[in-house]
Structure 1
Amino acid sequence: MTQPSSLPPLTPQFCFSTTVLRDFLRLSRGTIDDTITQNLNALATPSRAGFDPTSTSRLARPATRQIDASSCETFKNQVLFPSWQSRSDVLSYCTLVATSPDPDDPEATLRETEKEKNRERVVDERLDPYSSRFFPREARTEQLATILRQEMGVENIVRARSWGIVRERCGDIENSWEDALARWRKLHTAS
């Protein structure tokens, strides 16, 4: 059974290094969520009733087997939810970084210089209708916020897909991954 990827040291530099941030999220999703079916298949125990000759039949049969409830609980509590929580921790921390002032922004002076040059420009829209356009560089906090919005959208889609597969394979469990994760968090923060 695959274990969740470990949480990287959370620093503003980690967040601003968007390739490292995205690689962490991609690796964590790839390890757990992208292989959810394989992880759950590994939990399925072989038949206890012995060989069933109809299992080799060419007739349609259910594609998936239900997994033992205790195995499902163990998987969710020790693999799935910790992985989701570590990604949530990273996204929450980096969101905090993206919404905080950035005194160490290396391009702050360059942006101010561009804005000053823009104020000094002479714009004659009759000669060039596009001359009034100005696209200043985004601050790295704004770039990070955009990336985080995209990653949170991906995270919601991935979790919904994974939870659908878990529900299908593990039987009657909570309807939403949000409720299940909140319940798991409550149990793990109380201890």
Structure 2
Amino acid sequence: MTQPSVAPQLSPQFCFSTTALRDFLRISRSAIDDSITQNLNALITPAKRGFDPSSTARRVPQPVSREIDSESCQNFKDKVLFPSWQSRSQVLSYCALVATSPDPDDPEAAIREAELEKNRDRVVDERLDPYSARFFPQEPRTERLALLLRQEQGVENIVRTRTWEVVKERCGESVETWEQALATWRKDRPV
């Protein structure tokens, strides 16, 4: 069975390292959500009854049931899918807190202040000088992180919705949305 994604050691440096943040999310999604069909197919054990030698006499295989037994599905959801989603949620929530907190360690803060002071008297008209954007100060890294997190949260919602549709179809799941299923899992989980 696939192993669930484990949240990395959370720190503001991890969040501001957008490469590390995106890599964690990308790898977690590819291991669990992007390959959900393969992960669910691995739960089916076609040789449970043993090998039937007459099965090789036919060229057309008999249709295989697409539904997986409920115990295997529940085990996969409880031990792999939901813990992976929980890890990604923790990372996104933590980094959202970092993005909304003051950033006294911003290495570009002094440079931005110097640029602002230097450019206070400059009149910028983009119609006359299309290169005038070079005079606009860079946005703080907390704003760049907040923008990245909004994008990644949107991707996360899309990925989870698609994954849950496959899980519903293959496992005969009755819960309509992934939000409801994850909330139930969190509630039933020992703290």
2:75 is aligned to: 74
Tell me the number of residue pairs that the alignment of Structure 1 and Structure 2 aligns.
187
* CA spacing shift, 1:65–1:131, aligned 2, 3 Å: closer
Deviation per CA, 1:26-59: give whole Å up to 9, x if none. 0111111111101100001217678696x85389
Deviates more, 1:113-122 or 1:155-164: 113-122
For 1:41-120, list aligned pairs within 5 A: 41-46=41-46, 56-57=59-60, 65-120=66-121
Alpha-carbon shift at residue 128 of structure 1 (Å)? 2.8
What's the secondary structure of 2:42's corresponding residue? helix
1:142 to 1:66, Cα distance in 2 relative to 1, 3 A: same
Q: Shift of residue 129 of structure 1? A: 5.6
TM-score, normalised relative to structure 2: 0.87
Q: Deviations over 1:3-40 (max 9, x none)?
A: 11221110000000000000000011111111110110
Distance 2:163 2:59 in 1: 29
Q: 2:17 aligned with 1:17, yes or no? A: yes
What residue is the counterpart of 1:154 in the other structure? Answer: 155
What is the DSSP-based 3-state SS (H/G/I as helix, E as strand, rest coil) of the residue aligned with 1:98? helix
Residues 45 and 67, structure 1, Cα contact 8 Å, conserved in 2: no
Amino acid at match of 1:173: S
CA contact (8 A) 2:161 2:178 kept: yes
What RMSD in Å do the two structures reach over aligned CA positions?
Answer: 2.6
Q: How many Å separate the matches in 2 of 1:130 and 1:65?
A: 59
Deviation at 1:118, TM superposition (A): 1.5
| Structure 1 residues 49-82: Cα deviation after superposition (integer angstroms, max 9, x where no partner) | 78696x85389x57x6100001000000000000
Query: Within 5 Å, which residues of 2 pair with 1:31-46?
Result: 31-46=31-46
For 2:19 and 2:31, locate their aligned partners in 1 and report how far apart those are by CA, in whole Å.
18
Query: Contact 2:167–2:173 (CA<8 Å) still a contact in 1?
Result: no
Residue 136 of structure 1 and its aligned partner are, at CA, apart by 1.8
Q: CA deviation at 1:130?
A: 5.0
Question: How big is the shift at 1:147?
Answer: 0.5
Identity of aligned residues (%): 64
1:135 shift after superposition:
2.7
Gaps of at least 5 residues in structure 2 are: none
Distance 1:20 1:130 in 2: 35
Q: Deviations over 1:162-188 (max 9, x none)?
A: 000000100132000000000101111
Alpha-carbon distance in 1 for matches of 2:73, 2:59: 27
Instruction: Return the alpha-carbon distance in structure 1 between the equivalents of residues 105 and 68 of structure 2.
Output: 51
5+ residue gaps, structure 1: none
What residue identity is the alignment partner of 1:174?
Answer: V
